[in-house]
Amino acid sequence: MKTKNFLSKLHWQVALSLVLAVLIALVLKGVGLSESPLGKGFEEFCTFIGSLFMRMLSMIVVPLVATSVICGSMSLGRGRAFLRIGLKTIAFYMATGFIAILLALLLVNAIAPGDVPADVARKILGDAKFDTSTVNAGAGDIAGVLLRFFPPNIVEAASDNTQLLGLIIFAVIIGVFINTLPEKHAEFQRKFWTGFNMLFEKITNAIMRLLPIGVFGLVAPVFMRAGAEAVAPVVVFFITVSLALILHTVGSMSLVLFSVGINPIMHLKAMLPAILTAFSTSSSVATLPVTLECVENSAKVPKNISGFTIPLGATVNMNGSALYECVAVIFISQIYASAGGAAMGLGMQFLVVVLALLTSIGVAGIPSASLVAIVVIMGVAGIPAEAVGIIWMTDRILDMMRTSVNIYGDSCAAVWVAKTENCDVYPRNGKV
Ligand code: ASP
């Protein structure tokens, strides 16, 4: 009860702090103070507060994920329930990812943001700041994704936020195998992991109380540095991605929630702390503790389901990122076509859809990770990697938005799976 009150107050505090951060940053920039020593000092202070908060969240991710997944999978048992919930979750992630990409494909073809006069297209291609140093960091190719299921060194995987998938698979294996131990030992293991899981949840709860401050620190510097003109050169691209993200969230995902009798507005409201954390951190992984907290305490999803769907979702389910990849690659190809190159055919667009779905599984839940996948897809489509520079400027703000959609998708999966398992999600009369 206490947690619930705290969460419902928290999302207003976080929303207020987000609005304040954007307003203050834009005003400082507008009156020209952002470049003054005072403005710079303020920006540095905010960056410090933001990093401090981000580090606290990241600190708790590995122990929380490991214990949640172990507890989740051990309580699913050995046999059918485990398989059923696992398959449902994966099917949900694949299906909603596919819907998101189809929506993206439709919009990017209808709006055609890259359909510009030839001289403009050539200018954009010429002006793009090419920096490939960060886009070569490990590919999101299919074989690579499969290999990452089994990290050769679990300690190394646990120390690297981009290798969380391996840690999750290992934790699932532990959870499943606990149930194969003689009862005396299995009982001990269950108590051991449950105790640890409770401990890390308590710590998460304490960190979350700092959310409004952390959000302010993370968001203000972004808007002080970027301001509104950051989106100007590729404004139609920005609008296309935003529209697709909004339509997917309020359209497709609402239909999915309605299908199991959940009110999407109530769900959105309950997930606000997680959505706003994702917006501020641009990292599904850093948001994970908050997502778990919201899904378990506000939506009342049982731990055996949330402990499995949410950590898995934060690493493999990226609806927003998949959608973004598709719009980005086709937008860049449209620019090339406008500049005099060949237009992308239907067959290649279909391949982009498939690749966006597959690579989004491999995209790490960290800021700007999609850029790697975009370069991989561009490579297949024969577009030079450097052209990714065209979307560089808008990436930060779109990352905030797509990460919010990513984690919202995870939360929808958790409540959907729980509902289809006849769990009492959002118990009647329970106000969020
Ligand atoms: N930042 C995204 C996430 O963490 C990944 C991406 O699309 O770059 O969910």
pLDDT (tens digit, 9 = 90+) per residue, 387-406? 777 787 678 789 999 999 99
State whether residue 423 is helix, strand or coil: coil
Evaluate: CB of 297 within 6 angstroms of ligand 1: no
Tokens of 207: 């960190």
Of 310, 397, 406, the residue with max ligand 1 atoms within 8 A of its CB, to mutate for a pocket test, comes to 406
Widest distance between CA atoms in the chain: 75
Mean pLDDT value of segment 97-113? 93
pTM: 0.77
CA 336 to chain centre: 29
Q: How far apart are CA 303 and CA 327, in angstroms?
A: 36
Which protein residue's CA is at the shortest distance from atom 3 of ligand 1? 365
pLDDT of residue 72: 76
Mean pLDDT value of segment 279-302? 91
pLDDT of residue 230: 40
Task: Say yes or no to pLDDT of 431 above 70.
Answer: no
Q: Answer for the pair 315, 62: CB distance below 8 angstroms, yes or no.
A: no
Q: Residue 419 class from Cβ within 10 Å (0-12 exposed, 13-18 middle, 19+ buried)?
A: buried
Q: How far is the CA of 350 from the centre of ligand 1 (A)?
A: 23
Which residue type does 52 have?
L
Task: Say yes or no to pLDDT of 301 above 90.
Answer: yes
Evaluate: CB of 262 within 6 angstroms of ligand 1: no
Domains of the chain: 2-420 (1.10.3860)
Place of tokens 């107050």: 9
Q: What would the pLDDT profile of 364-385 be if each residue is shown by its tens digit?
A: 788 878 887 787 788 777 787 7
pLDDT of residue 161: 62
Evaluate: CB of 135 within 6 angstroms of ligand 1: no
Q: 80 Cβ partners below 8 Å, 6+ apart?
A: none
For residue 367, the tally of other CB atoms under 10 A from its CB is 18
CA 150 vs CA 164, 357, 362: distances in Å: 11, 21, 13
Q: 184 Cβ partners below 8 Å, 6+ apart?
A: none
Task: Say yes or no to pLDDT of 65 above 90.
Answer: no
Q: How far apart are CA 373 and CA 359, in angstroms?
A: 6
Q: How far apart are CA 332 and CA 249, in angstroms?
A: 25
Q: How far apart are CA 10 and CA 205, in angstroms?
A: 11
Q: How far apart are CA 264 and CA 285, in angstroms?
A: 24
Task: Say yes or no to pLDDT of 232 above 50.
Answer: no
Which residue type does 37 have?
P
Q: Lowest-pLDDT range, 50-64, 175-189, 289-303?
A: 50-64
Q: How far is the CA of 54 from the centre of ligand 1 (A)?
A: 15
Q: How far is the CA of 419 from the centre of ligand 1 (A)?
A: 27
